[in-house]
Structure 1
Amino acid sequence: MTRVLVPIDGSSQSTDALEEAFDLFPDAEIHVLHVIQVTRVPSDPEMTPYEYAKKKGQAFLEDAATTADTHDREIKTALIEGHSARTILRYIDEHDIDHVVMGSTGRSGMSRVLLGSVAEAVTRRSPVSVTIVR
């Protein structure tokens, strides 16, 4: 069976990538991964930044499960802390992934140079084919 990885970040582009994966790979086992990264301080003083990031990630995976339900599909989900591109590449190796479908925010010019592009890094280093959805 073909295994397809769809990394998600809560953006509309990652939701589009998940829907595209369902269309392109109707018989595949779909893995949905969110990489936890602490980028914001929560407004709730009782919650640590890590707890906040993890909670947001779980919500993204729940949204992905809802999207899967609307397509009458099942997905495997994972929530892992780490550097986005490296964690995605490690997941590919550890789970015998055959293809990656991921969204791109379409950054260009200086913002791409300064911020980097997870999609670009994964595409350059992936041992499997990568489809980028805009």
Structure 2
Amino acid sequence: MTRVLVPIDGSSQSTDALEEAFDLFPGAEIHVLHVIQVTRVPSDPGMTPYEYAKEKGQAFLEDAATTADTHGRRIETALIEGHTARTVLRYIDEHDIDHVVMGSTGRSGMSRVLLGSVAEAVTRRAPVSVTIAR
């Protein structure tokens, strides 16, 4: 069975990528990955930035499961902390992924310039084909 990885970050582009994966790979096992990165301080003083990032990531995965349900599909989900591109690449190797479908952008503006494009890094380094959903 074909295994397809869809990294998500909560952006509309990553949701589009998940829907594209369902369309392009109707019989595939779909893996949805969110990489936890602490980028914001929560407004709740009782919550650490890590807890906030983890909670947001879990919410993204729950949204992906809802999207899968609307398509009559089941997904495997993973929530992992790390550097986004490296974590995606490691996940590909560790789970025998055959194809990656990801959004064209997640970050925008200056953060994209400073941090680089995850989609670009994965596309250049992945040992499998990568489809970029726009």
Gaps of 5+ in 2: none
Please provide the CA RMSD for this pair: 1.8
Deviation at 1:115, TM superposition (A): 2.9
Contact 2:14 2:106 in 1 (8 A): no
Once residues 67 and 38 of structure 1 are traced to their aligned partners in structure 2, the CA distance between those partners, rounded to angstroms, is 25
Aligned CA distance change for structure 1 residues 110 and 8 (closer, same or farther; 3 Å): closer
Deviations 1:52-102 (A, max 9, x none): 000000000000000000000000000000000000000000000000000
Distance 2:42 2:108 in 1: 30
**Does 111-120 or 6-15 show the bigger shift?**
111-120
Q: Tell me how far 1:125 sits from its aligned partner.
A: 0.2
Among all aligned residue pairs of Structure 1 and Structure 2, give the percentage whose two residues are the same amino acid.
93
Structure 2 residue matching 1:85: 3-state secondary structure = helix
Which residue of structure 1 lines up, in the alignment, with residue 126 of structure 2? Answer: 126
Contact persistence 2:5–2:97 (CA under 8 A): yes
In 1, the alpha carbon distance for the partners of 2:108 and 2:35 equals 23
Match of 1:30, SS state, is strand
Moved more, 58-67 or 112-121: 112-121
* Shift in CA distance, 120/60, structure 1 to aligned 2, threshold 3 Å: same
For structure 1, which segment, 76-85 or 110-119, has the greater mean C-alpha deviation from structure 2 after superposition? 110-119
Please report the TM-score for the alignment, with normalisation by the length of structure 2: 0.95
* Number of equivalenced pairs: 134
Could you list the per-position Cα deviations for residues 11-40 of structure 1 after superposition, in whole angstroms to 9, with x for gaps in the alignment? 000000000000000000000000000000
